[in-house]
Structure 1
Amino acid sequence: MNKLIISSVMALASLTASAQSTVKAPAPILPLPEQKQIDWQRMETYAFIHFGLNTFNDREWGYGDSDPATFNPTRLDCEQWAKTLVAAGMKGVILTAKHHDGFCLWPFEGNDYNVSRSPYKNGKGNIVRELSEACKKYDLKFAVYLSPWDRSRADYATPGYLPYFYAQLHDLLTNYGDVFEVWFDGANGGDGYYGGAKDSRTIDRKNYYNYPHIFAMLDSIQPNAVVFGDGGPGCRWVGNEKGFAGETNWAFLRKNTVYPGYPNYPELQYGHADGDQWTAAECDVSIRPGWFYHPEEDDRVKSPEQLADLYYRSVGHNATLLLNFPVDREGLIHPTDSANAVNFHKMIQRELQHNLVAGMTPKVSNERGGEFTAKAMTDNSWDTYWATADGVTSATITFDFKKPQLMNRIMLQEYIPLGQRVKKFAVEYLDGKTWRSVEQGEETTTIGYKRLLRFRTVEAKSVRVRIIDSRGPICLNNVGIYYGGKDAQLTWNPTAEAIKSLPFAILSADKAEWEKATDRNPQTVWFSKGNEVLIDLGSEQEISALQYLPDQSEGRRGLIHTYTIAACDAKGGNERVLKSGEFSNLQNNPILQTVTFNATKTRYVKLRAERMVVAGEAMGFAELGVK
């Protein structure tokens, strides 16, 4: 190559670099996460360990009156815990160093209600230290749960308890290495039991503990620890213990609004769209019905399919998944729990293994330019992202394949260091000359750190993502499209053993017929009379979702187009509308419809078809569920 060509190439490269450097990044949109919050959310899945006197006394909430001598694990092995969690894909573990009963899993010098008073290692054991050392050995992050409530203390609910609690916290934070999270339970007394005796003491949950003092202590000792609480400030409770966040999930809360015992806790599933504090959701759930080990639950461990479903509804809904393992009475994670968790991790790895659009450059309707190009969405880098120009809050991203591809998963990520932005989006595939939605509805809401959509397998040569509305210029750093296999489950697999609905009856209908909608057999269909179904839950229950699987036969009869879901009385009157909307694209894609709404208590639920896909047809239900 002659000198003139070399000179020209170098000049062009210089001009290109100069042009890129002149394109400014989008301005941040408040609220913003701290770096430790970003690092925490990128962990995605981590474990909870509930273990203590409750394990040996068959309790969930001990009263603080159990004899420490009953704490006697004979094979306790924290390295077994750590190796199991690593194999299950967990990035860290949070230990219940002290639960509500006040029993400490470390030899805290400020009390005599701790592991040193037990037979374990002849009183020389320290489970906090043993687990923190196992975490270092197996490259797991370590964290602690310390219940603010303490039923073993006579001075609880008085000012005299606070120095004791602060001393416990200081001890845990200074003697066991770095912790990635500090977990403060929202259960904070008020039930009238302390030390096994009935007592009427209650506390002012907002002010009793002096949380500003606690947070200052944490920042001074463990500045990289994220603080969990109902309202944060580091991360928030998701408002349930079922392990899922809302499909709409903002990483924001209104500052100084949520506190332990917050009465409107169901809204924590969704966050506050107008929030001014970055407080993303953590979805806590146990692999068993209980948080502590109970032998009778050995056959009730969540299956790999159930756990995978929770992953998509937690991590895939802009949250993290905190999965609890109740250590058994020998001091080990039970083999069933271990096997199911490991197989869940393998299932997720398999379903999201091959990104069909890796390295592709999609077509975009708008591009900011410089380094913020469409190519950045498929380079598998966290730090590069595509962005639109200032003022552009809607755009399309189109992937064209050389030949049709099977697909049933899509992953989207926003570059959250600049804030969460997307309010509404849609994913569509090209069917001939028609763009069709891959999901149950035409439009979806938030993205945030990560959004994962599951849908019935389609074969398409083109896929597009339409960002319909955003709080500012769009910033996406990763997009993935996957084929999880022909057996990859959808949001709710009605034939899976794991699926459970609240029990209910259909009023004013023949039970022999409507039971076809609850038999977990998608080939049997119940056709209702009229345009309303009145559901009786048997007693008042808290519900937050209705699930509807339409007719799966080739004929696809009885498809509901537009619906209203309402709480009501036994005759269907006094309606409180919970959700109205449209079941879109059922004729072409008759997948399970999951309608979520703000949690509410009711005994009776009404589903009304405002319009049918084919006018005059009776409503058809392959399956119906209420959660």
Structure 2
Amino acid sequence: MKNKTITTFFTLCCLFISAFTFAQKAPKQLVELQQDFIDLRFGMFIHYNIPTYMEDDWPDPDASPEIFNPDSLDCEQWAKAAKSANMTYGCLTTKHHSGFCIWDTKTTDYSVMSSPLHKDVVKEYVNAFRKEGLKVMLYFSILDIHHKIRPGLITPEKVQMIKNQLTELLTNYGKIDALIIDGWDAPWSRISYDDVPFEELYRLIKSIQPNCLVMDLNAAKYPKDALFYTDIKSYEQNAGQHIAKDENILPALSCYPIQQNWFWKPWFPQQPVKDAEKLVKENIIPLNEAHCNFILNVAPNRHGKIDANALAALKKIGELWKNKGPMTKLKGNYDAPIISHNLAKFKPSYSSWSNDMNIMDFANDDDFSSSWQSHRDIKNPWWEVDLGQEKAFNMISITENNSNITSYTIEYFLNNKWHKLLDGNNNGKVKIHRFKRVYGNKVKITITGAKNTPSIAEFGVYNERD
């Protein structure tokens, strides 16, 4: 009980300080923040953490803090290098998957303050980048193998630890323009947005710094056609995630390392980095034209500096490419991010006749690669989900893999009868409907028009907070 009281007091103190610090800056509308972000065009990702001092990007999660020992940490060099490439911001890995914190945290001893450096790297970084007039962003991993924040081991105490760490990062270092979050509801991390509740963390972040964008690197799971659990659609090129340049209407981010790996390796000084001209012509320019900000990772070495070959490439980029300022305005014809728990996920479902094995359960199995598919002989197919008990909800999403459905009716079941909720005629792959809150224990979609045999990859029912 004593520990819980201390934790609560700590969080309240941080929130009070933060509220005082940022009260004078009025919150912007999300669409303004999204436009501001893509207008930045080009930035520096900085993977620097305990993996720098081992040969794996996912090192031993119990490696001693003693190995984190740069003899000439130079964040000012990083900032000047970013400036030389005409970058506008930086983003530093405050905590990667192995759980080592490179700031002065009160949540764990597994941090830079237990290392020979004994210096707050986040503070050094933000000060150096701001000195050069650059914006500041932070990377944070939810997956934390050292502290056993991993599948099957999530507890309320560990969720509170995450909240406390984010509170520190958003309270003690001034204005943070964005958080890039990783290791959360990705197929490889297997920590869901229910295990570590997305909406709780999202609202915590916004309560401390309302103008801080939340970007989750979740493109491995969620479709490119809507903002699922992120303010910015984010793509990791090394993982085979690429934006559809001709189709994209969403504010987006694409990340890519200038070296072979994200974290520094002993052979990097002798290994050629990616070609500056190609990075400009094949990444910065075409991505910017597609409402996409490009972030190029540059990994500092074990001394705490950027290698000469990477410095030279950055300077060359700056000679080849000039930042022309704000990009084309976002059209704004996309929906606000989905941030709430999906009430329909894994609940019992029913449907009209299905096509072979593609039965009703595939429409709410939390897997966008599988689908319920109607049998071709059904004229007006239907699908429904049983929420188990009466639930409040005010949003529904229907995700297809093929944009076949053209019109439909949605109903909800309450007091032993069906009530019509809405008629839809959205032709997109992801159809999102927000409406005044209703209550029901079942939800049903009846498809009244389709270009071909209809199917549903995922059906979502949500109760967004007011």
TM-score norm. by structure 2 comes to 0.58
- Letter matched to residue 246 of structure 1: A
Contact 1:97 1:105 survives alignment (8 Å): yes
Q: Which of 296, 312, 333 pairs up with 2:267? A: 296
**1:489 aligned residue:** none
**Pair 1:127–1:179, CA change in 2 (3 A):** same
1:416 aligns with 2:368: no
Asked whether the equivalents of residues 243 and 284 of structure 1 are also in contact (C-alpha less than 8 Å), the reply is no
C-alpha distance in structure 2 between counterparts of 1:133 and 1:210, whole Å: 32
Residues 351-390 of structure 1, C-alpha deviations (whole Å, 9 max, x = no match) = x99xxxxxxxxxxxxxxxxxxxxxxxxxx9x6xxxxxxxx
Q: Distance in 2 between the 1:174 and 1:215 partners? A: 15
Which structure has greater strand proportion? 1
Q: Residues 192-231 of structure 1: matches in 2 within 5 Å?
A: 203-229=190-216, 230=218, 231=228
Write out aligned runs for 1:246-261 (5 A): 246-252=244-250
- Asked if the contact 2:284/2:294 (under 8 Å) is kept, the reply is yes
Q: Quote the Cα distance in structure 2 between the aligned partners of 1:418 and 1:210.
A: 27
Q: Does 1:338 align with 2:311?
A: yes
Shift in Å, 1:95: 0.6
Q: Does 1:140 align with 2:113?
A: no
Contact 1:307 1:341 in 2 (8 A): no
* Contact 1:244–1:314 (CA under 8 A) maintained in structure 2: no
Percent identity between the two aligned chains = 26
**1:285 is matched with which residue?**
256
| Aligned residues of 1:244 and 1:310 also touching (Cα < 8 A) | no
| Residue pair 1:57, 1:66 contacting (<8 A) in 2 also | no
Q: Map 1:533-612 onto structure 2 (within 5 A).
A: none
Q: Which amino acid aligns with 2:195?
A: Y
Amino acid at match of 2:208: I
The aligned runs of 1:356-505 (5 Å cut-off) are 414-416=328-330, 419=333
Give 1:234 shift.
1.1
CA drift of 1:203 comes to 4.8
Q: Give the match for residue 144 of structure 2.
A: 150
1:220, distance to aligned residue in structure 2 (A)? 1.0
- Cα distance change on mapping 1:291 and 1:135 into 2, 3 Å: same
Q: Quick check: 1:243–1:314 contact (8 Å CA) kept in 2? A: no
SS in 2 for 1:75: coil
> Retained in 2: the 8 A contact 1:63–1:151?
no
1:99 aligned to 91, 96, 101, which one? 96
How far, CA to CA, are the matches of 2:78 and 2:272 in structure 1?
20
Runs of 5+ in structure 1 lacking a partner? 1-31, 192-201, 253-279, 354-379, 383-412, 421-627
For the residues of structure 1 that align with 2:184 and 2:207, how far apart are their CA atoms? 26
Change (3 A) 1:249 1:65: farther
Matches within 5 A, 1:55-94: 55-94=52-91
Residue pair 2:102, 2:122 contacting (<8 A) in 1 also = yes
Report if aligned partners of 2:245, 2:287 keep a CA contact under 8 Å in 1. no
2:129–2:136 CA contact under 8 A, matched in 1: yes
Residues in 2 aligned to 1:141 and 1:204: alpha-carbon distance in whole angstroms: 30
Does the 8 Å contact 1:33/1:416 carry over to 2? no
Q: Tell me, yes or no, if the aligned pair for 1:84 and 1:338 is still in contact at 8 Å.
A: yes
- Specify the SS of the correspondent of 1:326: coil
Deviations 1:535-568 (A, max 9, x none): xxxxxxxxxxxxxxxxxxxxxxxxxxxxxxxxxx
8 Å Cα contact 2:143/2:149 also seen in 1? no
Cα separation, 2, equivalents of 1:105 and 1:235 = 25
What is the Cα deviation at residue 189 of structure 1? 8.3
Aligned to 1:388: none
Counterparts of 1:145 and 1:295, CA distance in 2: 24
C-alpha contact 1:292 1:326 (8 A) present in aligned 2: yes
Q: Distance in 1 between matches of 2:186 and 2:147?
A: 12
Pairs within 5 Å for 1:173-184: 173-184=170-181
**Which residue identity does 1:245 align to in structure 2?**
I
Matches within 5 A, 1:26-41: 34-41=31-38
TM superposition shift of 1:345: 2.2
Report if the CA contact (8 A) 1:97-1:144 is conserved: yes
CA 1:330/1:127 → structure 2, altered by over 3 Å: closer, same or farther? same
Where 1:295 maps in the other structure, the secondary structure is: coil
Amino acid at match of 1:158: I
User: Which of 348, 351, 364 is the aligned partner of 2:321?
Assistant: 348
Larger gyration radius, structure 1 or structure 2: 1
1: distance between equivalents of 2:205 and 2:54?
33
Alignment deviations for residues 23-42 of structure 1 (CA, whole Å, 9 cap, x no partner): xxxxxxxxx96111111110
The amino acid that maps onto 2:97 is: H
Contact 1:64–1:101 at 8 Å: present in 2 too? yes
Distance 2:183 2:272 in 1: 26
- Higher relative CO (Cα under 8 Å, sequence separation at least 6) belongs to 2
Distance 2:302 2:94 in 1: 17
Residue 297 of structure 2 aligns with which residue? 324
Q: Encode CA deviations 1:107-132: one digit per residue, 9 max, x unaligned.
A: 21111100011111xx2x00000111
Displacement of 1:155 in angstroms is 5.6
Q: Note closer, same or farther for the CA distance 1:135–1:204 as it changes in structure 2 (3 Å cut).
A: closer
Give the partner amino acid of 1:34.
V
Shift in alpha-carbon separation, 1:333–1:239, aligned structure 2, 3 A: closer
TM-score in terms of structure 1 length: 0.44
Q: Quick check: 2:184–2:193 contact (8 Å CA) kept in 1?
A: no
User: 1: distance between equivalents of 2:141 and 2:331?
Assistant: 31
C-alpha spacing 1:119/1:190, structure 2 compared with 1 (3 Å)? farther
Q: What is the Cα-based RMSD across aligned positions, in Å?
A: 2.4
Inter-CA distance 183–155: structure 2 relative to 1 (3 Å threshold): closer
- For 2:316, what is the secondary structure of its paired residue? helix
Q: 1:338 to 1:161 in 2, by over 3 A?
A: same
Which AA in structure 2 matches 1:43? L
Counterpart-to-counterpart distance in 2, 1:244 and 1:144: 22
Q: Are residues 1:108 and 2:117 paired? A: no
Q: Distance in 2 between matches of 1:335 and 1:204?
A: 38
| Residue 166 in structure 1 maps to residue 163 in structure 2 | yes
- Aligned-partner Cα distance in 2 for 1:98–1:204: 16
- Contact 2:42–2:87 under 8 Å retained in 1: yes
In structure 1, C-alpha distance between the alignment counterparts of 2:111 and 2:298, rounded to whole Å: 21
**Offset at 1:341?**
1.4
Q: Which residue identity is paired with 1:78? A: C
Query: Contact 1:243–1:285 (CA<8 Å) still a contact in 2?
Result: no
Distance 1:82 1:154, change over 3 A: same
3-state secondary structure, aligned to 2:267 = helix
**CA separation in 1, counterparts of 2:319 and 2:204?**
40
Distance 1:41 1:68, change over 3 A: same
Aligned residues: 290
Cα distance in 2 for partners of 1:221, 1:190 equals: 30
